[in-house]
């Protein structure tokens, strides 16, 4: 046994994980070079070595959850490359109007066939609301309905959806509440799909950067887009929302969040899944909206993302025989790692899902929280 193997074994024991064990969270190593590779390269190397087939977990989501509950991520020293990434993120705005397009090209434009198979008929690519739901479709509809109720949506209201995805919320709001809507996205594939998805409804889909929106709306919502805004643009984002919101309207922000404040994202996720993306912290959100909005409600239902991601993986895995003609086996391992790793993060409660309701001047007498 090499010293790297022994060190990895000792670290994993702190999370009650065995190398070669048979329990759900245990791992199997196929290439002994993985020990040195991961100890030197951290979470980026962990994900890349999984993509390369150097190791497997009996249940990847359980493995990640146990690792994060034991805070084993703190056991690995940051590599020189990670330190450079941190410095770069501190010095430069990676989510300029040009830079922000990377995530559209490399992630959201991957192929609508992939997302249709994974997301199902609602095409909702954010956390479902599982309070009373039994299926993924029910959870996504419940999430959309929850948002409509939180902003007090009524017939004829005009809603702006910042980062509208494939149009799932606007379609729901128009069909179920009689609302009108404008959705902005920087993804060409999403825009084309959303226009067809919302055909015949009072919904306009634009390929437009959120910073270029100038007209006012009764309400504004943003579901799963804030993760791509970047720390240096948080203040601008809330200024745009303030500018575009009518005085008595609500702005509902639905975003993944993290417990600590960082200016850079996870190295593996940033490289392979969401380029230039970073999760906000409570501190960053509160600071950015100061003197622009009144905080009316902050709702955390992060554990529901675990169930959502597991449902997405089940759909993806089931559809793989039909998809693999277009996507190779390394893509399968990458996508599996993405979905199950994220499920483990939410299960460990190291990552959160927030819905934040904001008003411009405060609700007279107070806002009534909706759950």
pTM above 0.75, yes or no: yes
Alpha-carbon torsion (186, 189, 192, 195), positive or negative: negative
Angstrom distance (rounded) from CA 79 to CA 333: 24
Q: Divide the 371 residues of the chain into consecutive groups of 10 and give the mean pLDDT of each group.
A: 90 96 97 93 93 97 96 67 49 61 74 95 97 98 98 98 98 98 96 98 97 97 96 96 98 97 88 91 97 98 98 98 94 98 97 98 97 97
Superfamily of domain 97-359, CATH level 4: Vaccinia Virus protein VP39 (3.40.50.150)
**What pLDDT score does 73 carry?**
76
pLDDT value at residue 72: 87
Is 198 an active-site residue? no
- For residue 60, the model assigns a pLDDT of 98
Instruction: Give the pLDDT confidence score for residue 97 in this predicted structure.
Output: 67
pLDDT for res 286: 97
Distance CA(270)–CA(304), nearest Å, equals 23
CB 302 within 8 A of CB 353: yes
Burial of 333 (0-12, 13-18, 19+ CB in 10 A): middle
User: Which pLDDT does position 107 carry in this prediction?
Assistant: 82
Distances (CA, A) of 116 to 4, 101, 133: 43, 22, 20
Report the alpha-carbon distance of residue 196 to residue 191 in Å, rounded: 9
Q: Catalytic one among 127, 148, 198, 342?
A: 342
Determine the pLDDT at residue 265.
85
pLDDT of res. 40: 87
- Sketch the domain layout of the chain as residue ranges: 3-77, 97-359
Alpha-carbon gap, residue 265 to 283, rounded angstroms: 16
Q: Is 167 left (phi over 0), alpha (psi -120 to 50) or beta?
A: left
């Amino acid at each position: 046994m090499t010293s790297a193997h022994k060190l990895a074994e000792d670290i994993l024991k702190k999370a009650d994980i065995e190398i070669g064990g048979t329990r759900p969270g245990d791992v199997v190593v196929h290439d002994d070079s993985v020990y040195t590779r991961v100890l030197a390269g951290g979470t980026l190397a962990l994900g890349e070595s999984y993509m390369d087939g150097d190791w497997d977990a009996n249940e990847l989501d359980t493995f990640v959850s146990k690792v994060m509950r034991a805070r084993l991520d703190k056991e690995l020293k940051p590599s020189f490359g990670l330190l450079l990434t941190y410095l770069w993120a501190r010095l430069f705005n990676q989510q300029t109007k040009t830079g922000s397009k990377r995530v559209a090209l490399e992630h959201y434009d991957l192929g609508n066939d992939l997302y249709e198979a994974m997301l199902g008929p609602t095409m909702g690519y954010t956390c479902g609301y599982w309070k009373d739901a039994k299926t993924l479709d029910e959870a996504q509809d419940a999430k959309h309905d929850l948002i409509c109720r939180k902003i007090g949506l009524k017939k004829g209201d005009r809603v702006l959806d910042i980062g509208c995805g494939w149009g799932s919320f606007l379609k729901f709001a128009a069909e179920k509440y009689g609302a009108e809507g404008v959705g902005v996205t920087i993804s060409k594939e999403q825009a084309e799909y959303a226009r067809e998805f919302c055909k015949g409804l009072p919904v306009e889909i634009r390929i437009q950067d959120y910073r270029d929106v100038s007209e006012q709306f009764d309400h504004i919502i943003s579901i799963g887009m804030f993760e791509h805004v970047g720390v240096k643009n948080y203040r601008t984002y809330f200024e745009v929302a303030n500018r575009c919101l009518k005085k008595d309207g609500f702005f509902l922000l639905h975003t993944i969040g993290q417990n600590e404040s960082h200016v850079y994202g996870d190295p593996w996720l940033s490289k392979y899944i969401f380029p230039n993306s970073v999760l906000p912290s409570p501190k960053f959100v509160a600071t950015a909206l100061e003197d622009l909005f009144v905080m009316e409600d902050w709702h955390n239902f992060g554990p529901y993302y675990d169930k959502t991601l597991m449902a997405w993986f089940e759909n993806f895995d089931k559809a793989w025989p039909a998809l693999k003609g277009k996507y190779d086996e390394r893509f399968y391992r990458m996508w599996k790692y993405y979905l199950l790793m994220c499920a483990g993060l939410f299960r460990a409660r190291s990552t959160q899902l927030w819905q934040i309701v904001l008003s411009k001047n405060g609700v007279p007498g107070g806002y009534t929280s909706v759950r």
